[in-house]
Structure 1
Amino acid sequence: MEGTTNEQQKKGVSKGLIALIVGIVVLAGGTALAFMLIKDSPKNAYFLAEKDTWEYMVERVEERYQPEFDWYEKTQNDKTASSVELTAEYNDPAAGSTGYGMDPATLINNSSIKLDSQTDMENKQVYTGITANIAGMEISDLEVFVTDEKVMVGVPFLEEVLQLNDQDFGPLLHEVDPATFTGEETLGLDTMFESAGEIFPEEYKTHLEDEYFKMVYDELPDDAFKSSDETVEVNGESIKSEKIVLHLTEQQVKDILTTVLDKMQKDDKLKEIIKEQMVAQQFGGIYMDDELDTFMEDFEAGISEAKDGLEQIKIPDGLTSTLWIADKKIVQREFVLEMGANAEELAKVSITGSQLLTDENQFFDYDFAFSDAYEEGTMNIAGDLNWKDNEAKDSINLTVEDFVLSYDGTETLADGTREFNRVFTVEDPASGGGSLHWSGDATYEADKMNSAHQFSLETPDFSQDMFTLNMNTEGQTIDSVESLSEDNVKDLGSMSTAELQEYFENDVAPSFQQWLFGLMSGSGMGF
């Protein structure tokens, strides 16, 4: 039994180190690499090809979806209002023939939900009003107002507005359960108003680039890169390319990994970044200090374990990464790494494939493979994206053995209006698979937008026309964000747990029951 455990540990260490090595190679190639000397060398050409290829793809996406990106920027920089209305259509001829209860179509086809939101990201304010019509039962006056400091909620069955300040949340939890909560917990409201760049700010990117990517770049010896000319076949085209082979010996791989792990182990800034990212990704939940401390302890222990395992690991053929480059972009790639606890138990990971990127067409086809003494697996991802004269025809397929996840879409863009038809399909012999159909249109102008979306499912037992979810949206710029009145506020954070229990039992619950009874009685639904 002890031997089995040791084998599993060795196997796990190998996978972890493989992931680290692949991550270093990919991330180092994809970063801006502003520190590189602009000189003609295979080493620079290798990394510049990674950088230029990534930036080219980003530019193509931004170019195609410029109206959407422009509107997103407006929502981040200006005060905007948006309205989202959800309705559905249900059509099942057999549903009403059972003779039991109400036909679901009566309820579904006569119901709607509408959300009216207003945002001011600069001043950190969000207002949302919710209304609904459930088969003639009208629900309104549900309102939420959020800033980076507090949450205010208005409900139709209470005269007062409920309020909870961010600073009161932790102490309230601590009073409820002092053994679990420290009192320092927050609602994390400020993360609602952070853009993607603020969630992972520029200083973090600069730190990783300066302290890790530059270090890896400097540690890679110039003579590990070899260049030659070679013609390759990509997507039916014969392309003259520069072939650059990066080869590191076993000792060179170990030396670079040791340098990186040593740096990570002593890097307090990296640990701060990791902790902040964990908290940011946990919006809507709670991360206790002891959980963060435990995670960081595991992180440091994992680095020590990786360093210890690195001394014993075998990489008989070293690491080889080959790029074929044409027009400063990668057209073909091959990455191979084989390592293990000994020469008889090697784990191998490989990435092979090709891509051809132009302004009108982006083609890619890659195979990812892993194998060791215990298991093996392959995955293929292939895509053909076409954009010409403001018309698109796209297909992407992810294949793992008999399981296939695919996307097929068409789009047209004319006078600021995008019309689209997108289909996501799952092919799975075990479940029978199915498809999600998403069609609609969206129009973006200088200070307003509107869109209409239709979603439907199709499976072997469910036809596409049986159920459709409709989502209509409208957006525009506004002068100010609506807020809830502070004349009659019930501050929940200032109340003790006993006062809160008494308030909800004696005030909130009876008022809710009375409101709900009146709502159902007046709807004519027969409750």
Structure 2
Amino acid sequence: MEETQSQKKKLSPKALISIIIAAILLIGGGVAAYIFANVSDKQKYFLAEKNTMEFMTEQIEKRYEPELDWLEQSKEKPVETNYELSAESNMATEDLGMGEMGLSQYINNSTISLKHAVDMKNKQMAGRLQADIGGIKVDGVEYYLTAEQFMLGLPFLDELLSVKGKNVGNLLYQLDPMTFTGEENIDFATFFEGSLSEEDVEYIKKEYGEMIYDQLSDEAFKSEDETIKVHDQSLDTEKITMKLSEKKLKEILKETVEKLQSDDKLKDLIRKQLELQAMGSSALDSDIDQVMKEFDTSLKEGKDGIDDLHIPNGLTSTIWVHDDVIAQRDFSVKLGPDKDQLVTFSIKGTHLLKEEKQQFNLDFSFEDSISQGKMNAAGDLSWKDEKAKDSIKLTIEDLVLSYDGKESLKDGKRDFERTFSLEDPAGESGSIIWSGSSTYKDDKMNADHSFAFAPAADSQHLFSLHAAVDGKTMDSVKIPKDDETKDLGAMQAEEIMQYFETEVGPKFEGWLVELLSASGNLEF
């Protein structure tokens, strides 16, 4: 009986991974938000973490200020954006001929235009789609979305088809009464909502970051001066080491889990994020309930198993600080549910962060008694005189993902060429080249984008996608009135069937015949 109870207290792998990730994140960025510029080694450690994150954020904001300003403006004002898409194919697909034209010819002679308007504040969206597919012209496809309903306009119908979020359940039940209850609904307002708000993020930082920070004693931090070499540069640094014992780590983990168990506000935030992913659909409420139940179960299992957790060497994290930011780091921890299932996690690498140039080279690794793995992330980013030259490589075993980019910004116009490549000796390799230009100014923007796809062994682009984009702010988004719509969600099964058989079906067939006849693709 004693052995069985002991086994029940063992930390499950799922709970263990959740606790490890939460602890690492909270000990890092969350804590750093509550540190003031004092002289203790503890405060200097977290201040360096905070400064490093803020420095990189500032560099991104500085480089892409026009784009970020436009994004913020679009959250406050209605914006209309016009997209025109075309493509070019060099693929040998003529044997897949479609009439007198092969597939490549259809692609090369096709365009799609979309006019899209959105008002994020008032939760309104509208759009109109036009297409010319190899001479077959389609116009009159419209869509509208508000917090209450979705509407769809089709070129062969005089009225718009609509369904209100509260009536989605009835529509689904009429179509499939064996699967749906009729009580389902969708909150269309979630389409206009983002992820966590600034207030939510601050709550998590304060409640958990401050709590963990307060548990860390000054004695756990030691510093000394050390000269190191980073990317061929000799740097005078302050080396700060945080050393947490197994006992202290368990205390922090236990208090964190206990707080999570009783934190109803955080659980509400988690549920809200799950509902956003489900687009506010009440049909998935039971699934979300199950996820939240598993979350509580995982926390209980985690708390019960913390005492049995093995962390023989505790946790060690060392940073080397130069000019108030981190120049080098070495993080390692070995832990597991018992002494025979220990896994070592480590992060080692360097950062050389300057105003005009940022370089980094980081190794992430794990190792247990059976296997080991390693991932390297290396980058060289520069922004000088309104010009950028960037290179980033992510290497996992023999697989290499790389990014190379060049940009220039002059008189508000950004020209760029960005190449994303995959090198896989055991599989397919190739690249995507994203080139073009963009201009953001006051209440207008325009951009031209080209995406070229090519295998590694062929310098010729097999397929290219082109997009011309024009945007501007507007006064408001126009939404049709309810009397211009056909509310499918309020209809019974017999009414829906009759409507589609007597109205939608015949009008669609007549429209299709007329469309194909006008394009010369219909033979009588």
The TM-score, its normalising length taken from structure 2, stands at 0.92
Structure 2 partner of 1:103: 102
Shift of 1:73: 1.6
Letter of the 2:228 counterpart = V
Please list the CA deviations of residues 10-37 of structure 1 after superposition, one character each: whole Å capped at 9, or x if unmatched.
7x84575355334423344223755445
SS, match of residue 407 in structure 1: strand
Query: Could you tell me how far apart the structure 1 residues matched to 2:342 and 2:15 are?
Result: 13
Distance 1:487 1:461, change over 3 A: farther
Gapped runs of 5+ residues in structure 1?
Answer: 1-5
Equivalents in 2 of 1:411, 1:172: separation in Å?
Answer: 50
The amino acid across from 2:67 in the alignment is E
Aligned match of 1:160: 159
The CA distance in 2 between the partners of 1:458 and 1:124, in whole Å, is 40
- Report 1:88-99 matches (<5 A): 88-92=87-91, 94-96=92-94
Q: Please name the residue that 1:211 is paired with.
A: 207
Amino acid at match of 2:52: T
What whole-Å deviation, never above 9, does each CA across 1:438-469 have from its counterpart, x for those lacking one? 10000111121111111111114655333211
Aligned equivalents of 2:78, 2:341: Cα separation in 1: 60
Question: Quick one: distance in 1 between partners of 2:341 and 2:33?
Answer: 40
Deviation at 1:206, TM superposition (A): 2.8
User: What is the RMSD computed on CA atoms of the aligned residues?
Assistant: 2.5
Q: Match for residue 282 of structure 1? A: 278
Q: CA deviation at 1:226?
A: 0.9
Q: Distance in 2 between matches of 1:19 and 1:368?
A: 18
**1:374 and 2:370 aligned:** yes
Q: Which residue of 2 aligns with 1:143?
A: 142
Q: Which moved more, 1:458-467 or 1:292-301?
A: 458-467
Alignment of 1:441 onto 2:437:
yes
Counterpart of 1:337 (choices 333, 346, 356) is 333
Any gaps of 5 or more consecutive residues in structure 2?
1-5
Q: Is residue 2:122 matched to residue 1:126?
A: no
Give the direction of change, closer, same or farther, for the CA distance of 1:246–1:484 in structure 2 (3 Å limit).
same
* Pairing 1:64–2:59 present: no
Percent of paired sites with the same residue: 44
Amino acid at match of 1:219: Q
State the distance in 2 between where 1:271 and 1:98 align: 54
- What does residue 495 of structure 1 align with? 491
d(CA) in 1 for partners of 2:322, 2:204: 29
Pairwise CA distance, 1:263? 1.1
Q: Distance in 2 between matches of 1:399 and 1:305?
A: 35
Equivalent of residue 398 in structure 2, options 391, 402, 407 = 402
Instruction: State the alpha-carbon separation in 2 of the partners of residues 126 and 427 from structure 1.
Output: 41
- Change in Cα spacing, 1:362 to 1:313, as seen in structure 2 (3 Å) is same
Is the Cα–Cα contact under 8 Å of residues 31 and 51 in structure 1 kept in the other structure? no
* 1:499 shift after superposition: 2.1
SS of residue paired to 2:307 = helix
Are the aligned partners of 1:87 and 1:112 in contact in 2 as well (CA < 8 Å)?
yes
Question: Is contact 2:35–2:46 with CA below 8 Å preserved after alignment?
Answer: no
User: Structure 2 vs 1, CA of residues 384 and 253 (structure 1 numbering), >3 Å: closer, same or farther?
Assistant: same
Query: Which amino acid letter does the alignment assign opposite residue 304 of structure 1?
Result: K
Does residue 351 in structure 1 map to residue 350 in structure 2?
no
| Matched position secondary structure for 1:312 | coil
Q: Residues 383 and 284 from structure 1, CA distance in 2 versus in 1: closer, same or farther, beyond 3 angstroms?
A: farther
**TM-score normalized by structure 1?**
0.92
Q: d(CA) in 2 for partners of 1:322 and 1:229? A: 13
User: Contact between 1:15 and 1:347, CA under 8 Å: does it hold in 2?
Assistant: no
Corresponding residue of 1:3: none
SS of equivalent to 2:306: helix
Of residues 317, 322, 325, the one that matches 2:318 is 322
The one-letter amino acid of 2:157's match is L
Mapped partners of 1:353, 1:345: distance in 2: 26
